[in-house]
Amino acid sequence: MQQTYDTILLDLGGVLIDVDYHATAEAFQALGHADFEQLYSQAQQDHLFDGFEVGALSPAEFRDRIRAVLGSGLTDTVIDTSWNAMLGSVHPQRIDLVHRLKQRYQVLLLSNTNAIHVPAFEAIIAQENGITDFKALFHGAYYSCEIGLRKPDAASFLHVLEKHGADPARTLFMDDSIQHVRGARQAGLHAEHLELAHEDILGLTQRLRLL
């Protein structure tokens, strides 16, 4: 029996925008910092990155912490460029998918992100997709660094849904990180793991017959 949903909650990185976490590690490695990949990964992050994602650290504080770990000679520009190296493109088909989903569901976005990535990916989307107000693409869009909450904590999901009067039991969350999917389920949402090695968000949406 097909589940009926009122609300679709989407992740950003890996779901809508291409992300290559190794690209950032490689950028820092090229500068002579071979241990960066041990410090950061998609599945488990150092507290430095968690704190940055919930706004506990400012960009300046984050850069200083990076310099403390990797070397004092790194400039702000070099850190930002290397940190943003993981950000890729948002394919037009994914933008179209959001528009089509909005015709049937309340479509929300919840992204674990930070104050250096936000202007960078918004600039990419503006340049490549002509969208100057990315948040306006959704009925509601939330960044962890702005709300002080991050996935997989239940409070992050419930905060977003409460803002829009959405029932967790009638909400479908889609994310490429299994720990976030588990967190959403613990918060009472339906959740699907997008396994990028096998399909993209277009394929998952089609498989679930959401449209």
**Which homologous superfamily is 21-86 in?**
Putative phosphatase; domain 2 (1.10.150.240)
In order along its 211 residues, the chain shows pLDDT tens digits of 457 899 999 999 999 999 998 899 899 888 887 777 666 654 455 578 889 999 999 999 999 988 887 877 899 999 999 999 999 999 999 999 999 999 999 999 999 999 999 999 999 999 999 999 999 999 999 999 999 999 999 999 999 999 999 999 999 999 999 999 999 999 999 999 999 999 999 999 999 999 9
For the segment(s) 7-18+89-207, the CATH number from 3.40.50.1820, 3.10.20.30, 3.40.50.460, 3.40.50.1000 is: 3.40.50.1000
CA separation for the pair 175, 12 (Å, rounded): 8
Helices marked H in the chain: 21-30, 36-39, 47-53, 59-70, 76-83, 92-102, 117-129, 144-147, 154-163, 178-186, 201-207
Tokens matching residue 87: 């950000």
Domain ranges of the chain: 7-18+89-207, 21-86
pTM over 0.85: yes
7, 161 contact by CB (below 8 A): yes
- Which strands sit side by side in the sheet containing 171-175, from one edge to the other? 140-143, 106-111, 7-10, 171-175, 190-193
